[in-house]
Amino acid sequence: MILYDYILSPDCYKIRLLAALTGQRLTLQAVDYHPGGEHRSAAFRMLNPAGTIPVLQDGALILTESAAILTYVAAMSGPDWLGEDSPQMRGQVAQWLAFAHRLSASIGKARSHDMLQQPADINACRRAGVACLQELESALTEQRLMGFGYLAGARPTLADIACFPHAMLAPDGGISTDPYPAIRLWTRSLRALPGFIEMPGIHRLHELKPEPIGTAGQD
């Protein structure tokens, strides 16, 4: 399974994260997204005409939408991450996979504008990003009132993996995450999962690791 990947992309990271959590091995193929713009090259567009990342290639199968890639990886190596096989759960998970596109189009775009100098109506992106975070906060608050810790119930699913990276990285696009206590607790729970991996800007919970014993002269 080959993932065409860019280290700073939240949408690529969510695929790497799910693969790590489910034990799915990926062959990473780095794409020079910035500054090279390799995703817009003729060669890359032979693979994905849309010129976007991530792209997953598994034999003859090529998937270019992160929601589809998450679904495929979960079905292959971690079916629990699809949620239980009920119409309600399938609907809920699909709801949040679709919602994650709104996060990419708002928070993700604000972040690419601020970090990679990509053109955007930055104020509109930030307003839409705040609205998304408010919806996420309310949904997580309601889950907590029902006694659940994740977007689609008591255990983490694709719903959480799809929304987590942009919620964590919003400050990169000038959108504060300070006002959202339910989002803060939820991202903490996800970062504490066995097998969790980091990306630049999203670190593991240091408190779960033993204190390193330093040696004089290092650092």
E strand map for the chain: 2-5, 27-30, 55-58, 61-63
Enumerate residues 187-216 that contact another protein by CB under 8 A.
188, 203, 205-207, 211-216
Nearest to residue 3, comparing CAs of 22, 23, 31, 34? Answer: 31
Residue with tokens 């992309």: 9
- Does 145 engage in binding with another protein (CB under 8 A)? yes
Of the ranges 69-77, 107-115, 116-124, 145-153, which one interacts with another protein (CB under 8 A)? Answer: 145-153
Q: Give the sheet arrangement for strand 55-58, strand by strand.
A: 27-30, 2-5, 55-58, 61-63
- Does 119 engage in binding with another protein (CB under 8 A)? no
Of the ranges 7-15, 28-36, 95-103, 133-141, which one interacts with another protein (CB under 8 A)? Answer: 133-141
- Does 142 engage in binding with another protein (CB under 8 A)? yes
Please report how close the Cβ of residue 216 comes to another protein at its closest, in angstroms.
5
- Does residue 136 contact residue 163 with C-beta atoms inside 8 Å? yes
- Does residue 110 contact residue 173 with C-beta atoms inside 8 Å? yes
- Does 134 engage in binding with another protein (CB under 8 A)? yes
CA-CA distance, 219 to 210, in Å (whole number)? 18
Closer to another protein by CB, 179 or 195: give it.
179
Of the ranges 4-12, 91-99, 108-116, 139-147, which one interacts with another protein (CB under 8 A)? Answer: 139-147
Residue with tokens 């033993």: 210
Residues 6+ apart with CB under 8 A from 209: none
Tell me the site size for another protein, rule CB under 8 A. Answer: 27
Residues 6+ apart with CB under 8 A from 162: 14, 66, 67, 70, 96, 97, 99, 100
Please report how close the Cβ of residue 68 comes to another protein at its closest, in angstroms.
32
Q: Judged by CB under 8 A, which of 37, 91, 181, 200 binds another protein? A: 181
- Does 123 engage in binding with another protein (CB under 8 A)? no
Q: Contact residues for another protein (CB under 8 A)?
A: 134, 137-138, 141-142, 145-147, 178-179, 181-182, 184-185, 188, 203, 205-207, 211-216, 218-219
